[in-house]
Chain A
């Protein structure tokens, strides 16, 4: 049974972080260069952490599987980043951002962590502006804001529709500076394939160079994973194709607890699947729902008719019908589920039947085509580029897609996992978003973790490790982990079956989407728990991984990742099955109010479920960290 000590500091909520910073142990500046820290990942969380730790004097080794840190998936974030600056003087505050995040997470996050996140949000904007991030500005030269994701205040900072890109390039520039100065040793094309534990502490990693196939051992005083989310378990998602769960999954198999794996976010406005060849789903900004009206035909027979031929009386504006007061603007999870229900009834549009209309004809009548173009021109262009259809002339077709994973490795207030010396940052951990993440909060969390939390909290651990006590990489533990990695590679190459890796990834994705997607049932999850192990067996019996281990071999990379996804998918279903309630992104059909809203069970499930690996073929252990709401009152989210 893993020991889950959340180490939340005592005292009033608003004082906890300040107090903790003065209470935790510090590393003497002259000693910092004697410690080596491994950072795996250089998205927002990893780059900001690696740069800052090197500035403090630690010796940092940073590994990414990408060819450059600038390619991390963070680059794709569009909408913006939240911060409680209250520059608009519209009543925002640290407390309000804290409260919105807690409520948005459906009361399944830790109060102390979320409050800290809101506190440091203001420093993030200062840091990024000083790095030269070209945020949107008002004519007076001050920073512009917008309101995002239904927030009642304008607290979102942005750089056109490319906020993630600009923030990542800022963090990448800080990291590049430290690489140039010799503070960070950067290893690109380097995939972490195992974590090494010595005496129960995380003390190193095993890396495969993706260009040469060389496998190397790296020892350190502490290991940080900032390797992103695991939404590609579903195969089709808004994630970059290469995003994967291998780093956190292999750490899980070494004993790190995986918390709330079933909490996934499904975004309602994405471009639908067009065919079996589909590799990726593209997000269309949520802002479109401000002016677009969502509908499907009332009659099944009409679903393939041209939308213009369906008279007003035969259209079902289902969000307006079911949620009269929020209408098309109801939250992501609610809108997604409603669209799914329509398609399940056979009324979905487009060739696949998996789509609903997002119609701008009323907006065009009201604002004129140019008015609409001014607001959404670039989005209409993207839509046209992908579908060859003009949303000025006919409604867009949209469908929900997997977008973010709130679950991840369990961490304490210091962002340390239950394995001493293993820290987890960014989307890879489970800490701040509870069961549902609000828009523009992931970028905030990644940078908070990397710039402003880990630089303090890692000292608390390292101060207890004697400088120079780092184990040598020729120890048995390293050798064993390396053999584990090379053994798996050999096995994959040796199967020489019939099907490419993508075949299994697609099938896993379909199972997950069907049974562990927007709406889950006991029976469905049980079916999945039967089918996924079968798929796993089939994978290991009949996958074909051509080529050798000694060169760039993209099939081999994918094979390892998909093998991990299959196992993680099973754990997600198990978690979803055990959580007998609905909350945020986790919707169990058995647990809903009459109006279809999530029915939480605070009595029995106000906790984080942290799964602990028990060995191959054994059922993992479900540990529980109770969530104590001391400062906020748990209430029901309603959008009617």
Chain B
């Protein structure tokens, strides 16, 4: 490949990064100056460069979570200058580019903080509570091979589109990190709404919402007090209207279950 020469104006920033060896040890901010920052670099690419520098010195690089680097896998999870996924709008950490910043900036980088997301190391947290919620009811019970022809159940386009809006959630947890109560309502509402809007999701609609909300509460997420910081931080801009929709579903299911018990079991081994 051709040697890199660039006409871009390079600049310098300081990364003030949260370092913490594990959940038991205390953490602290450490400053890493970064020079020759190319505005076309992604923020995570700058972290890569800083890490390579640390490694060359024999220091341990900063642990951070990432994978797809195009905003779809939901792995990346930094709070940057106090905002989950940073200053952009409708993007994940990996979609943030250095041109957002200017020469001399001090950029504060922390992990997503929430009681239900215990810290693993540096900027990495454990979001397995989301999987637990999913396992409790985030599915439609259909054995492989038992499905009817796909066109035998038409789905009104508007419903399918709205379901898709909810289904674009990438499971990153920014909604939780942005919420002062660390509520997971937006994440859960997105899943409940996606499945609840499809005709295929109706038979288990009550059981699903009750089981997922119960598991969410058990996992230590806080209550929703309608601050809507969640939607503002969400890289997919999932609407908080879905929370209202889930609340209605939950209320209806709770009332019904008071008269007629709803099994919250995991769906049976089929």
Residues of A within 8 A of B (CB): 48, 51-52, 54-55, 57, 66-71, 73, 75-76, 85, 87, 123, 125-132, 134-143, 159-160, 162, 165-166, 169, 172-174, 176-183, 186, 188, 211, 240-242, 273-280, 282, 351-354, 385-388, 451-452, 455, 496, 498-500, 502-503, 510, 513-514, 544, 546-547, 551-552, 554-555
Q: Residue of B at shortest CB range from A52? A: B144
> B69 touching A551 by the CB < 8 A rule?
no
Instruction: Tell me the bound Cα distance from A54 to B155 in angstroms.
Output: 30
Q: Does B93 contact A (CB under 8 A)?
A: no
Please name the 3 residue pairs, one residue from A and one from B, whose CB atoms are nearest each other, closest first. Answer: A141-B154, A180-B266, A130-B147
> B147 touching A127 by the CB < 8 A rule?
yes
Q: Which residues of B contact A51 (CB under 8 A)?
A: 144
Instruction: Tell me the bound Cα distance from A169 to B22 in angstroms.
Output: 31
Q: Which residues of B contact A174 (CB under 8 A)?
A: 139, 142, 144
A-B contact list, 30 entries, CB within 8 Å: A51-B144, A55-B143, A68-B131, A69-B131, A73-B67, A76-B70, A85-B150, A126-B148, A129-B150, A130-B140, A131-B140, A131-B142, A132-B198, A134-B160, A134-B164, A134-B198, A159-B164, A176-B135, A179-B135, A181-B267, A275-B41, A352-B2, A385-B91, A451-B145, A452-B145, A546-B61, A551-B121, A552-B121, A554-B61, A555-B55
Given A135-B160, A139-B157, A275-B40: A165 and B72 interface contact (C-beta under 8 Å): yes
B155 touches which one: A131, A141, A455 (CB < 8 A)? Answer: A141
**How many chain-B residues does the 8 Å CB contact rule pick out?**
92
A386 touches which one: B72, B97, B128 (CB < 8 A)? Answer: B97
Measured between C-beta atoms, what is the minimum distance from A379 to chain B in Å?
A: 12
Q: Does B30 contact A (CB under 8 A)?
A: no
> A181 touching B67 by the CB < 8 A rule?
no
Measured between C-beta atoms, what is the minimum distance from B102 to chain A in Å?
A: 14
Name 9 extra pairs, CB < 8 A, besides A131-B140, A278-B45, A386-B97: A129-B150, A130-B200, A135-B150, A176-B135, A181-B269, A240-B69, A279-B45, A388-B39, A514-B1
Q: Which residues of B contact A178 (CB under 8 A)?
A: 269-270
Q: Residue of B at shortest CB range from A273? A: B1
Q: Which residues of B contact A354 (CB under 8 A)?
A: 1-2
A54 touches which one: B74, B128, B139, B269 (CB < 8 A)? Answer: B269
Q: Which residues of A contact B186 (CB under 8 A)?
A: none
Given A129-B200, A211-B120, A282-B70: A172 and B2 interface contact (C-beta under 8 Å): no
Measured between C-beta atoms, what is the minimum distance from B135 to chain A in Å?
A: 4
Q: Which residues of B contact A498 (CB under 8 A)?
A: 56
> A388 touching B97 by the CB < 8 A rule?
yes
> B128 touching A71 by the CB < 8 A rule?
no
Q: Residue of B at shortest CB range from A48? A: B144
Most chain A C-beta atoms within 10 Å of own C-beta, residue among B63, B144, B155, B267: B144
